[in-house]
Amino acid sequence: MTDPISDFLTRLRNASKAGLAECVSPHSTLKQSIAAILKAEGFVADHSDGVDEQGHKTLIVKMKYVANAPAITNLSRVSTPGRRLYFRYTEIPRVLNGLGISILSTSKGLLKDQDCRRNKVGGELICNVW
């Protein structure tokens, strides 16, 4: 697998559209940080660690639905391994005029776009969620 973050986002998007209760993915600290931001913003219900049949660590994300509609309307990967996109804090694009969020990888860890503007720190734009 060349892009595990894109794979994780695709699993979340597919689970959301299929109406699944939870999504299971291989564990990494970056994926866990993305899930924590999505939980704090109300896009997913919860996330936890687990172990699969082979003994590998997994990340279990419980999906959130509002009136039988998924909380995640769209989830798109912006920066890819072939094309990294970096932004200063003044240049971070707004998602749906502030209704969605962007997740950035900064020197202070993973942050959402509002926190980057508040802390005056830029970084690599990982994904947009709305």
Mean residue pLDDT across the chain: 97
- Report the candidate in 76, 17, 128, 3 with the shortest Cα–Cα distance to residue 113: 128
Is the pLDDT at 125 greater than 90, yes or no? yes
Q: What is residue 1's three-state secondary structure?
A: coil
Cβ(32)–Cβ(50) below 8 Å: no
Instruction: Round to whole Å and give the CA distance between 70 and 63.
Output: 8
Are 35 and 64 members of one domain? yes
CATH for 56: 3.30.1370.30
Q: What is the pLDDT of residues 64-94, one digit of tens each?
A: 999 999 999 999 999 999 999 999 999 999 9
Are 64 and 111 members of one domain? no
Per-residue model confidence (pLDDT) at position 1: 73
Are 79 and 66 members of one domain? no
Instruction: Round to whole Å and give the CA distance between 51 and 10.
Output: 21
Q: What is the pLDDT of residues 12-39, one digit of tens each?
A: 999 999 999 999 999 999 999 999 999 9
Are 107 and 79 members of one domain? yes
Please give the backbone phi and psi of residue 99, each rounded to the nearest 5 degrees, phi first.
Answer: -80, -25
Are 20 and 56 members of one domain? yes
Total domains, the chain: 2
CATH for 96: 3.30.1490.10
- Report the candidate in 105, 101, 84, 83 with the shortest Cα–Cα distance to residue 93: 101
- Last residue in a domain, options 70, 99, 121: 70
Question: What pTM did the predictor assign?
Answer: 0.95
- Last residue in a domain, options 32, 49, 70: 70
Is the pLDDT at 104 greater than 90, yes or no? yes
Range of the domain at 56: 4-70
Q: How confident is the model at residue 115 (pLDDT cuts 50, 70, 90)?
A: very high
Are 42 and 98 members of one domain? no
What does the DSSP assignment read for 62-95? EE-EETTEES-S-EEE-SBTTB--EE-TTTPPPS
- Last residue in a domain, options 70, 100, 115: 70
Is the pLDDT at 8 greater than 80, yes or no? yes
